[in-house]
Amino acid sequence: MTSTPLIFDFEKNSNLSNWNVVNDGVMGGLSRGKIEINKDGNALFSGTISLENNGGFSSVRYRFNTKEVKRYTKVLIRLKGDGKKYQFRIKTNTYDRYSYISHFETTGDWQTVEISLSDMYPAFRGRELDLPNYPIEIMEEIAFLIGNKKAESFNLEIDKIELK
């Protein structure tokens, strides 16, 4: 179990093998997303959202060894978005069906998004669950998701994800 504040710092030779894209195709949708390292050494999560066939989302998930997070209260994400709304998600156990979620808006410029861990609420398939908010003890997976109920392209550049 690790307790370092760094979750991931992207660079030109970053290994993305533990980052997996999950699109709405798991439910019959036609959205497309991908993650790659760009020329600046940042992650680029990009694609298009389609509402056809009951679709409407794309996500990218990062699984890792259990990380102890008791000493932290926030996640800081240095990123450059496209002016759209995204979700940041945490799972305490990779095999949980639900995630703890926080929404954030991007500005189109570089920004540091600050997410309060205690405000992250549990949800499954877009529905909030009647369970306590994130317990701030451990995590095994983080994810970014876009699903704004409209057909659109998206572009989220991520530099670093850390705990504070």
In a domain, 81, yes or no: yes
Which residue has tokens 């701030």?
136
DSSP state, residue 2: B
Q: What is the pLDDT of residues 113-147, one digit of tens each?
A: 999 999 999 999 889 999 999 999 999 999 999 99
Number of domains in the chain: 1
In a domain, 99, yes or no: yes
Q: What is the pLDDT of residues 29-54, one digit of tens each?
A: 999 999 999 999 999 999 999 999 99
In a domain, 53, yes or no: yes
Residues 6+ apart with CB under 8 A from 159: 9, 10, 42, 43, 78, 79, 80, 110
**Residue 37 to residues 6, 42, 109, 119, 153, Cα–Cα distance (Å):** 18, 5, 18, 30, 18
Q: For the chain, give the percent of residues with pLDDT over 70.
A: 100
φ, ψ for residue 48 (rounded to 5)? -135, 140
Confidence of residue 27 (pLDDT cuts 50, 70, 90): confident
- β-bridge mates for residue 130, sequence order: none
In a domain, 84, yes or no: yes
Measuring CA to CA, which residue among 117, 137, 118 is closest to residue 76?
A: 117
In a domain, 120, yes or no: yes
In a domain, 1, yes or no: no
Distance CA 66, CA 83 (A): 32
pTM: 0.96
In a domain, 91, yes or no: yes
Residue 3 has pLDDT above 80, yes or no: no
Domain range for 93: 6-163
CATH number at residue 82: 2.60.120.430
In a domain, 33, yes or no: yes
Measuring CA to CA, which residue among 161, 157, 160, 162 is closest to residue 36?
A: 157
